Structure 1
Amino acid sequence: MEAQTVKWLVLLALIKHVSTSPFKLEPGGLLATEGSCFEIKCQVTEDVDDHDANWFWMKDRLWVEKDKDCTSTVIYSTNNSTRPVSPDFANRVNYIGSPSSSWQNANSAGAKPLCSILICDLRRSDSGNYSLTFEGRDRWSSEEVTLNVTVNRCPLTFEGPAAVVESHVVTLTCSTLSPCPLRPHIQDVTQIDQTQVTGSHQDNERTTTTFSFTASRQDDGRVFSCQTQDNKDKYLIRNIKVTVKYPPTEPKLSMSSEVTEGQTITINCTVESFPQSTLTLMKTYPNPQALIITEENLYSRPINSLSHTFTVTSSDAGWYFCRAQNTEGSKDSEQKELVVKCECFSCGFLF
């Protein structure tokens, strides 16, 4: 009798937590497409103390009597050691709600804080019941919502080179299954008018659109999209960002032309390239060149920069230039002369 009473008390406690949970999910059946992303909307309706708490999202929770706890597939967790995320959902679920610290002020005036998640790269096996559990000074479980993932008749594949050398040909390929009634196309997202690129062919298995162009440095960072015609789902669009490797432009050398011995000066050198260049400040002599200073990857692409500050002596007089070198080539700046004037006393003149 006592055991039966304990079971009922546990069940009543669970019902109480579910019915009074401050975490409210958007009700109803949820429908999503395979390969897309879907947001499970969650709102915090009452103040929740997140101090020393952890919380996690579950799929298909099930009460285990002997453990007096729920078992489920954990899809998102703030404490992976106590509630590890299932490998099937790792890197596919992102929290897009409000910081949990804001949950403490859910009763204040204004919009309610959110506790939503976004599941991406959806699979048919993701269909099921989802809920949120909070474990802290209080334990809360939200109600469940049901997500149904439907088959995608037009799964897209978008292929292109990870990087291409300037003047080489870039070929982008956007394709889908032949049974798909919608033709795939490529758009240049970077262009203001988002010009559609055409040129399709079809075989027994796939419908394919390709686009080719000769790469220039101006194409570096250009973005193309692959999607089916009349697509309204932004998560079913595939993007490729073009990376173009090119040798350094002529480095720009900036320095004083005439200084006094003992004066501190700075010589600057900048260049544009990708990958980043190694910049070397050189000084010429009647004989072979001598290395002064070298900087590698001081700043990120596309501008590379070197700065060298020193106190001038008479031996620093001479001609200077900057050399930039990366995997695609090298380039020298123009040479500039540094004239060093000495103080009269240091030069041995007395008046």
Structure 2
Amino acid sequence: MVGDTGGYFCRASNEAGTKDSQTKHLSVQFIHPPSIVLPTTLINGNLLEIVCTAGDAYPEPVLEIYKNGKGIIASTNGTGTELSYTANVMVSDAGDYFCRASNKAGTKDSQTKHLSVQCWCDSPKVNDDRIKILLAGVSILYGIFLLVLPVYFWLINCLEYRKEHRKGM
């Protein structure tokens, strides 16, 4: 326990007297895993906030936030028990995030959490992580019949990639 940090010595006593050993200083170092908080799903352009909070540790740890295994931001040496990252989210921000705490006692990682980033469109949509197909009904009046032809929009990273018109169903 951190409360055990301090100076220790040994004292021996007998009929001849008492003798103390040299004092040795003991510094108890430990680290517990940090925690990470972030949303699971955001819409492209919204505000992303990731908060990494250190677990119990001595000495105070350095905190880092990782995305897909690569560090994106780190605290400076022992400057606090919380690290936050804020940005306007883009589709490329989707991925797996975790927080790492390190000190002289070692390194511990938080649980990994996944962030999905979706495109916002005004049309009904079929969700897929990489490509979104949007269906917008196009009506054509043909005689006395109303014919609805679907128009498909293929989006990659929220940008229109290709538009297809389908005939009759």
Q: TM-score, normalised by structure 1?
A: 0.30
Residues 77-110 of structure 1: CA deviation (Å, up to 9, x unaligned): xxxxxxxxxxxxxxxxxxxxxxxxxxxxxxxxxx
The alignment-based identity, stated in percent, is 29
Where does structure 1 differ by over 2 angstroms across 4 or more consecutive aligned residues?
168-175, 200-208, 345-350
Aligned residue for 2:102?
325
Q: Which has the higher contact order (CA 8 A, sep 6+)?
A: 2
Match of 2:92, SS? Answer: helix
Q: How many residues align?
A: 120
Aligned residue for 1:265?
48
Aligned residue for 1:250?
33
Match of 1:290 among 44, 61, 70: 70
Match of 1:206 among 7, 10, 18: 18
Shift of 1:326: 1.1
| Equivalent residues of 2:6, 2:27 under 8 A apart | no
Aligned residue for 1:275?
59
| Equivalent residues of 1:278, 1:294 under 8 A apart | yes
Structure 1 pair 203/257, CA: closer, same or farther in 2 (3 Å)?
farther
Aligned residue for 1:172?
8
Higher percent of residues as strand: 2
Q: Residues of 2 paired with 1:203 and 1:312: CA distance?
A: 77
Which structure has the larger Rg over C-alpha atoms? Answer: 1
Q: TM-score, normalised by structure 2?
A: 0.59
Shift of 1:201: 2.2
Aligned residue for 1:307?
84
| Equivalent residues of 2:49, 2:87 under 8 A apart | yes
Shift of 1:320: 0.5
**Counterparts of residues 18-97 of structure 1 (less than 5 Å):** none
Instruction: Tell me how large the CA RMSD over aligned residues is.
Output: 3.4
**Counterparts of residues 86-235 of structure 1 (less than 5 Å):** 172-173=8-9, 201-202=13-14, 204-206=16-18
Residues 16-43 of structure 1: CA deviation (Å, up to 9, x unaligned): xxxxxxxxxxxxxxxxxxxxxxxxxxxx
Shift of 1:305: 1.6
